[in-house]
Chains A and B, each alone.
Chain A
Amino acid sequence: MHPQVILHSFGYLTQAAGTTLAISLAGIALGFVIGAAVCIARLSREAWLARLGGVYVSVFRGVPLLVLLLFIYYFLAKFGVDVPALAAAIGGLALSSGAYQAEILRGALAATPPGQAEAAVALGFSGVEVWRRILLPQALRISIPPLINEFILLLKASSLVSVVGIAELTRVSMNIASLTYRPLEAYVGGALFYLAINLCLAALGALTERRLAGERG
């Protein structure tokens, strides 16, 4: 083991960790928009729309991310759509994460006691007001810890976009491994970066969970 390999490539790894973080942030944000739309569709009173939302969740949770990413690449190539590799990768992460986030949001809405919405209606709140002032504030707060958890999973899943050649943390570790002939050190270095980011995120998740528990306590 030659730890100096990690020290020498520290700059590259830091930069690559930044790319990983940026891709994951873009993926989770776009995924949230998709997730919210799918969640609304699933809760819709229109049967076909609810069904469509259900199919979305089932398909994008059923197809492995690596397959989905390659599918997007070949799909774009087959139909001659010219999209930058990075955008396609972020799109793939977001499509997949959207299915999971839709379920998180649905669960959070279901966790709000139905009596509250009924009470608000009885007090003369309009439909929009019930959502804006009663349901959403609570549901969004409940969904923060599972969303942070989803972000950790997404950040790890983003390692798969290395396969399509994007210079994020895993890809850069691979490059360092082949340049220095020291795969052990290179991957340990990459893994340490992932671990550091995820431990911070996990601590943040635990903190928000504790605060939520305190508020309700």
Chain B
Amino acid sequence: MDLEVLWRYAPSLLSGFGVTVMCWSAGGALGLVLGFVIALLYRLRLAPLRWLLRVFIEVFRGTPFLVQLFLLYAGGPYIGLKLSATTAGVLGLGLYSSAYFAEIFRGGFAAVPVGQIEAAMSVGMKPFDVLWRVTLPSALIAAVPPIVNMLIVLSKETVVLSIITVPELMYQMQTMAAETFTAFDAIFAMAAFYWLLVEGVSRLGARLEARVTAFMAEEARPA
């Protein structure tokens, strides 16, 4: 491993890491918001709307992320959607993950005991209050572990953006490899880096989960 090469390319690698983090957080945030909206719309129980949302979810979960990216980036201009590689990448990550996040939120809503909602309504709470004060808090907490998991999956998907020339870390690393003939060293560094990143994020995620679900453990403890 030639550390001197890594040092020489440090500025472009750092900027690549910055782009990776930006795409990851922007794509993840877009996916979370979109997924949450889809899950809320799903609760409206309008048959045609539900059917449309189901098609959206199945299409984005049933096709590879790479094909979705190609469709957006190469096919987009033919329907008047001219996007830069990075914009297409963020939008692609957002759309792709929104389908998964929608299912996660839906599962969270389903995990709220019906009795709690009925009880809230029978003491006279308005539908919005029931949603805001009863359904949402426990639905969101139930959704935290799968959300963390999906965000980790998404961090690995950002690598795919290099294929449509988004200047993220993988792309910069490959540029370095091509210019300095260090293909093996570069990909080894990449693998080691991602392993550490994913390990770190999952440890942080586990801590976050333990924190938001701590009250459940307390409640479950026999008095």
Interface of A with B (CB < 8 Å)?
1, 58-59, 61-68, 70-71, 74-75, 77-78, 152, 156-160, 162-163, 170, 173-174, 177, 182-184, 187-188, 190-191, 194-195, 198-199, 202
Contact = CB atoms under 8 A, between A and B. Distances in A.
Nearest to A70: B187
A63 B62 contact: no
A187 B75 contact: yes
Contacts of B7: none
Of B63, B65, B162, B190, most buried by chain A (CB within 10 Å of CB) is B63
Contacts of A174: 70
B63 A191 contact: yes
B181 to A, nearest CB: 11
Contacts of A1: 78-79
Contact of A194 (B64, B78, B79, B197): B64
Q: Which 6 residue pairs across A and B have the least CB separation, nearest first? A: A184-B75, A159-B64, A62-B198, A183-B74, A62-B195, A64-B156
Contacts of A59: 195
Q: Is the interface of B mostly helix, strand, loop or mixed?
A: helix
B78 A157 contact: no
B114 interface: no
Given A67-B159, A174-B70, 14 more contacts: A62-B194, A64-B156, A64-B157, A66-B159, A160-B64, A183-B70, A187-B70, A188-B71, A188-B75, A191-B59, A191-B71, A195-B62, A195-B63, A198-B62
B67 A65 contact: no
B163 interface: yes
Nearest to A162: B66
B183 interface: yes
B64 A170 contact: yes
A195 B58 contact: yes
Interface in B143-171: 156-157, 159-160, 162-163, 170
Interface residues of B, number: 35
B68 interface: yes
A68 B61 CA distance: 23
Contacts of B178: none
A103 B28 CA distance: 25
A74 B199 contact: no
B132 interface: no
Contacts of A190: 67
B62 A58 contact: no
A67 B70 CA distance: 19
B63 to A, nearest CB: 4
Given A160-B160, A195-B62, A64 B194 contact: yes
B63 A194 contact: yes
A183 B75 contact: yes
B191 interface: yes
Contact of A159 (B67, B170, B194): B67
22 contacts: A64-B157, A64-B159, A64-B194, A67-B187, A70-B187, A156-B64, A159-B66, A160-B64, A173-B67, A173-B70, A184-B75, A184-B78, A187-B67, A187-B74, A190-B67, A191-B68, A194-B64, A195-B58, A195-B59, A195-B63, A199-B62, A202-B62
